[in-house]
Structure 1
Amino acid sequence: ARQQVNERLTPISASLPEGAEPVMGPISTGLGEVLMYTIEYEYPDGKEAPRGGAVGWQSDGSFVTERGDRLDSDVAKAAYLRTIQDWVVAPLMRSVDGVAGVDSIGGFEKQYLVQPDPARLTGYGLSFDEVIDALEAANLAEGANFVERAGEALLARVDARLGSVEDIEQAVVSTREGVPIRVGDIATVSIGGDLRTGAASLNGDEAVVGTVLMRAGENSRTVSAQAAERLEEVRSSLPKGIVAEIVYNRSSLVDATIATVEKNLVEGALLVIAILFLLLGNIRAAIIAALVIPFSMLMASIGMNRLGVSGNLMSLGALDFGLIVDGAVIIVEN
């Protein structure tokens, strides 16, 4: 079915507007959300945070990243969290066996905003198109062939991609009498974000929420436990001042459900024996009715093992021994 959908998407892509590209979602179901975690600042909004270091919160309320970028707006700070999720955490979480994909909610997709000053443009005799062309020309990565030495070929390339606000400000738009006119001379450059399509918060503070999606047919308890272990490993590679916390783990919920089913089965069997003995006055009839519970559970477990049905919330919830006991009581009464 996915192959057929992919074949239909190929011709459709040619008729869509420039930059629009349809993609299929992960091979998951509506019950595939097995792990949710948050990416946030260790000290949200800089409250009680140590200040003045080379990296982290500064005395003016801004946050300096390990690359040296100064985040002085709420949008830039939220975009930094989303960047870490999309480029550091999510790729590592996708490599877990049984994971179909990772969804991201909150923050902003990082963008560099160049806002030209019309008055300065007019003064230099420049247009918006010239600024756009200059930015495109300054953001290149080209291969420069190779150099042979001692029987080895050494690849050479020129990487002139823009990677910071300072790089963009230094891009040359034009020259006047041999003096270069740079982007920083005619425009304001800052870190911004794309149009927001969702938001997330943790205890009232801006955060990014990542959701691990399980591949259809996998064991949710196993996948969520492995994903939680991987997140523990990922924490060591997070930039300074950023933390990741698990807020929902399906394996914990399944373990709690198994414990509840176990407890209810034992207590239910004892109650059935006691009540039927009091009402019927016959211990043999009470035991016969009570034995339906473990035998039904045993048969269901055998069938689940043979058919490969995992012990998840849906399958465990279907084993409602109350319905089983109703049938047993009717049998005993007859």
Structure 2
Amino acid sequence: MRLDIRTDTSERLVTPTQWSRRYLELFAAWLHQPSSQRQHYTERGGNALKVVCISDTHGTKPQVPYGDILLHAGDMSRGGTFKEIQEQLDWLNAQPHLHKLVIGGNHDIILDEVAVERIIETRSDSFPAGGKRRKDLQWGSIMYLEDSFVTLQFPQHKRSIKIFGSPMTPQYGNWAFQHLPIRDVWRDKIPHDTDILVTHGPPKAHLDSSELGITAGCPHLLRALHYARPRIHVFGHIHAGHGLETIRFDKATVAYERIVVLGEGLGMLLSLLWASAMKLVCNDAGHETVLVNAAAVKGNHGEEQMPAIIITI
């Protein structure tokens, strides 16, 4: 069984109503949850590395635990101005972590030069002509990833960690780093030897439920995740999805994803039920990826602060 994402689903003879489909998705999620939300694998001993994950701080400065790597998965700001981003960079630079990496988010407009030129006409007060731009930012020791990767060396641990980062999310409003939902910007983009994938948005069907209960992740990113299979995938964007999920790339996971992404019905639900039962009986260990929605605030206006998430690998 494979995940075959189509944007045109008009060929299906039976289209469930929105309510019946929603109940089907909820039941599928309940079936999938026991196997997907296990305690994630952690490496112990002298080679263990602590990865501290945050996202969507939106100008806030939460308490950040110490670790070897600090990752920020975008939306450092609310309005995306130079001043907001620089204040966040100064705060991140003050953290004691050996390696600090950030990507942009849809709110971080000053980082997207194309978005700045598009928005400047309607928001000249925030982005004045001739004002400071991305090139003027002081990054300090922070590494910035934009559809790029870096390999971090840890000589004391005799290890290296390859991290790929991208700020892209499906278009919603007039913001930065966005693409048309029908466009697959992830094809052949993520290196297959990536250890940690950092994107601003989540993959479809995983830690992507909005406050309205809508799965708002990107289906194209989900397909790319199946190909790349990093050890960790860190993201944010959908505040209500904050948390951890560990997935295996097996028949049960694909059946669940086909229900959520493609809207398949009872037949696929039975496939999910069978695959989940076989997984419990066989208990075979397959490749796992730890998914981390590290959004630091919940609610549209940051009404609730959420803790950073630490993964040990």
TM-score by length of 1: 0.20
Q: Choose between structure 1 and 2: higher strand proportion.
A: 1
**Larger Cα Rg: Structure 1 or Structure 2?**
1
Question: Which TM-score applies when normalising by structure 2?
Answer: 0.21
Q: Which structure has the highest helix share of the two?
A: 1
